[in-house]
């Protein structure tokens, strides 16, 4: 069975440009998470979905970040416009309700130049 699939694996963009990341969770996993990981630090939760509903987006910088999970399966995370400080690894994870089977994707490494 495929794990959590993220794309692209790497992305380099100029500042002020938009960028989007895509995540396909494990089949049947109701809960989907987006994390941001700065170099040398632990991941920080940006948003958590239960099915298609964003139940915790308190850490998402809503002025430039947006996310959606249409139909409660795949999810996209968008940054518009990107800033130099957004350079980081963006991780997606999924789990069953209650946290069982928590699985991470390989992440998207974003470099803003």
Partner 1 sequence: KNEVEQSPQNLTAQEGEFITINCSYSVGISALHWLQQHPGGGIVSLFMLSSGKKKHGRLIATINIQEKHSSLHITASHPRDSAVYICAVLFADSNYQLIWGAGTKLIIKP
Cβ contact 6:22 at 8 Å: yes
Residues in contact with partner 1, shown as a per-residue x/- string from 68 to 87 under the rule CB under 8 A: --------------------
Q: What is residue 80's three-state secondary structure?
A: coil
Strand partners, 95: 31
- Tell me whether residue 86 or residue 105 sits nearer to partner 1 (CB atom): 105
> Residue 5: enclosing H or E segment and its boundaries?
strand 5-7
Q: How far is the CB of 81 from partner 1 (least distance, A)?
A: 26
88, 95, 110, 112: residue in contact with partner 1 (rule CB under 8 A)? 95
Tokens representing residue 54 in the block: 């964003």
Q: Is the peptide bond before 8 cis (omega within 30 degrees of 0)?
A: yes
Q: Is 42 in the site for partner 1 (CB under 8 A)?
A: yes
Q: Which residues bind partner 1 (CB under 8 A)?
A: 6, 31, 42-43, 45, 48, 56, 91, 95, 98-107, 109
């Amino acid at each position: 069975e495929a794990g959590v699939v993220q794309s692209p694996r790497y992305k380099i963009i100029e500042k002020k440009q938009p960028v989007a990341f895509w995540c396909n969770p494990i089949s049947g996993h109701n809960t989907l998470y987006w994390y941001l990981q700065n170099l040398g630090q632990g991941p920080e939760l940006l948003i958590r979905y239960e099915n298609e509903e964003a139940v915790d987006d308190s850490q998402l910088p809503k002025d430039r970040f947006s996310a959606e999970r249409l139909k409660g399966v795949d999810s996209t995370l968008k940054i518009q416009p990107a800033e130099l400080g957004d350079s980081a690894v963006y991780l997606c994870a999924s789990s069953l309700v209650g946290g069982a089977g928590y699985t991470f994707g390989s992440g998207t490494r974003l470099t803003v130049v």
